Amino acid sequence: MQQRPDSETIVVFGATSAVAQELARIHAGSGDSMVLIARNSERLNSVAADLRVRGAPQVECLCSDLDNIQEHPNLLKKVEEKCTGIVKYYFLYGALPDQKACEASWDATHSALTTNFLSVVSLLTQIANKMEKETNRGLIVVSSVAGDRGRQSNYIYGTAKGALSIFLQGLRNRLYQSNCSVTTIKPGFIDTPMTRDFKKGALWATPEKVAQDIYNASCKGKNEVYTPGYWRLIMLIINNIPETIFKRLSL
C-alpha cells in the first residue's frame, strides 16, 4: 500500500486484539504514526516492532488495564505526551463473557459491563470533551450486532454493546457541530482467538476483512457500519420478528 500524502496520527485502544493488529498494519502501510494501548506489554511491544517494519514512522506504546477507570485521566495525559495532532481514536477492545457465569453472579456481570461499556464510556467522555474544541477528528468504536436485540445466549454482552451503540448515537449528534465524526462498528462473528472454541460457519469473517471495513469507514466518516455488510440485512430480519414469537426462540 502506498503512503498517503496526508499521513495521520492515531490512537488504538486494545491494540493487541486480532482486528486491531490488522487495522494498525493498514495504517502503518499508509505511513501513519500511532499510540498503541493494551494490557500485555510483551505482546504490545511485539506488535509495535512489526508495525515499524511495515512503515509506521512513529509507534508509541502504553501498557494499561482499561478496566481501571480511575486511571483513565492519567492514561490520556500520557497519550498526549506521546503524540500531538491525534486525528483518530480507535476503540477495539472488549471481552465476550460467560453468559451462565454472569447469570449466577453480579460480580461477573459488573465486570462484563465495565469492560464492554463503562470503561469505554469513561474514555470517550474525556476524549469528546477535548475533541469538542477541535475539528476534523474521529472516534471509531467497535460495538456489536449482539446489541441490536437481546437474546438468551448472550444478553449480558448484548446489553453492554446495545447501551454503547445508543451512547454513540448521542455523542455523534453532539459532536456533529464540531465537525467530528463518531463511527459505530457492528461486527458479526469474527474468527479470532477470543472465539476459538466456537464452531465456525459461513457467516464468520476474518480479522483482515473486518479491519479493512473499519478502515474504510473511518476514512469516510461513516455513522454506522455493519461488517461484513450482510449483517445489516440479517439484523433487520431479526429485529422485525414479533416479540411474541421471538421470546419462544432459542437464540
Q: For residue range 197-241, what is the model confidence (pLDDT) as tens digits?
A: 777 778 899 999 999 999 999 999 999 999 999 999 999 999 999
pLDDT digits (tens, 9 = 90+) for 108-125: 999 999 999 999 999 999
Name residue 115's amino acid.
Answer: T
Return d(Cα 213, Cα 185) in angstroms, integer: 9
Sign of CA pseudo-dihedral 35, 38, 42, 46: negative
Closest by CA position to 142, among listed 159, 120, 113: 120
pLDDT digits (tens, 9 = 90+) for 118-174: 999 999 999 999 999 888 899 999 999 999 999 999 999 999 999 999 999 999 999
What is the mean predicted confidence (pLDDT) over 92-108?
97
pLDDT at 3 over 70: no
**Structural domains of the chain in order of their starting residue, each with its CATH number:** 9-246 (3.40.50.720)
For position 191, what pLDDT does the model report? 87
pTM, to two decimals: 0.94
For position 5, what pLDDT does the model report? 52
Residues with Cβ within 8 Å of 118's Cβ and at least 6 positions away in sequence, in order, are: 69
The share of the chain scoring above pLDDT 90, in percent, equals: 88
